[in-house]
Structure 1
Amino acid sequence: MLTGDSFSANAFAIGLGKFQVETVQDVSGLTLEQDVVEVRQVSATGQLVVRKQPGGRRSGEITVTRGMDKSNAFTEWIKTTLVNADLDTARQNVTVSLMDAKRNTVRRIHLSNAWASRWTGPALGAAESGPATEQVTITYEDITVD
């Protein structure tokens, strides 16, 4: 890959603890964010001095969209929190892997202590011809990018 070439956004995978999510349509909301602390002081000459500095890192959420299929492992993980209310078991480290054209992993985004906090089912209708998809919001405590 030449310098300046970007990776394709359609080559990625999601690993969840001990298994890989079989099929995924979309991942959105991958952000690394930090609080900004603003300190206002007055100097000895009476002039206002405003300083900004980094604060704590923020936790976040991503949304995974996938076709409704027969893959059980990811569905069972979602049920662990949303149905069984077993957050201790549900917390997993999630990895989103970005791949190059040859399907080699070139960058990893790690989400620590992640759990499913929301599930949205498909929009169903007699006149619909598209795939039935579900959306899962995954809440995490920390994010690191390799």
Structure 2
Amino acid sequence: MALPEMDAGVGHSFGLEFDGIQIKSITEISGLKMEQDVIELKENGADGKYVIKKLPGRWKAPEITLTRGLSADTSFDKWIKDSQFGKMGAVRKGGAIIVYDYEGAPLKRYKLTNAWPKSLEIGTMKAGDTSVMTEKLVVTCERLEVE
């Protein structure tokens, strides 16, 4: 019996793409979660026994955290600033998070609908520390789908 074919799903790099702009320097992504509510329907069956049925409910919108090394790129800063000033027409964007393989080819895409930045956090600053400073952008969206 042959073993099932499996791709090495190792994400060597990650990227963010919104409105044709690509940011490939993402080092960590968390919160990619597709979830929906469960509705419990309680009733008596035809034989009179108590039955609980579970039905699919509303989709829950995820909050995705993107981490990258601090750089001169101001795309995160501008996006969060526009959100703070309530320019939601320009801030809500459609795009995708892309996982690349070791050769740089797209391995998987996660489509975000009406995404906008919730917060931006700069990593801890400590004198004499040799670690890379990071910035974390938390993005919320109305829907997350696998393409």
Q: Tell me the TM-score normalized by structure 2.
A: 0.88
> Is residue 140 from structure 1 mapped to residue 129 from structure 2 by the alignment?
no
> Distance between the aligned counterparts of 2:42 and 2:64, measured in 1?
34
Match of 1:93 in 2: 94
Match of 1:129 in 2: 130
Q: Which amino acid aligns with 2:8?
A: S
RMSD, matched Cα: 1.7
Match of 2:19 in 1: 17
**Equivalent residue in structure 1 for 2:53, among 51, 54, 57:** 51
More strand by share: 2
Counterparts of 1:74-93 in structure 2, within 5 Å, are 74-82=76-84, 84-93=85-94
> Distance between the aligned counterparts of 1:104 and 1:68, measured in 2?
25
Match of 2:104 in 1: 103
Secondary structure at the residue paired with 1:21? strand
> Distance between the aligned counterparts of 1:73 and 1:134, measured in 2?
12
Give ranges in structure 1 of 5+ residues lacking alignment.
none
Secondary structure at the residue paired with 1:24? strand
Q: Tell me the TM-score normalized by structure 1.
A: 0.89
Would you say the 8 A contact 2:36–2:56 is kept in 1?
Answer: yes
Q: Which amino acid aligns with 2:93?
A: Q
**Equivalent residue in structure 2 for 1:27, among 29, 51, 59:** 29
Would you say how many aligned residue pairs link Structure 1 and Structure 2? 144
% same residue: 28
Would you say the 8 A contact 1:112–1:143 is kept in 2?
Answer: yes
Counterparts of 1:104-119 in structure 2, within 5 Å, are 104-119=105-120
> Distance between the aligned counterparts of 1:86 and 1:107, measured in 2?
31
Per-residue deviation at 1:60? 1.1
Secondary structure at the residue paired with 2:77? helix
Per-residue deviation at 1:73? 2.4
> Distance between the aligned counterparts of 2:120 and 2:74, measured in 1?
15
Match of 2:40 in 1: 38
Per-residue deviation at 1:13? 1.4
Secondary structure at the residue paired with 1:129? coil
Would you say the 8 A contact 1:21–1:74 is kept in 2?
Answer: no
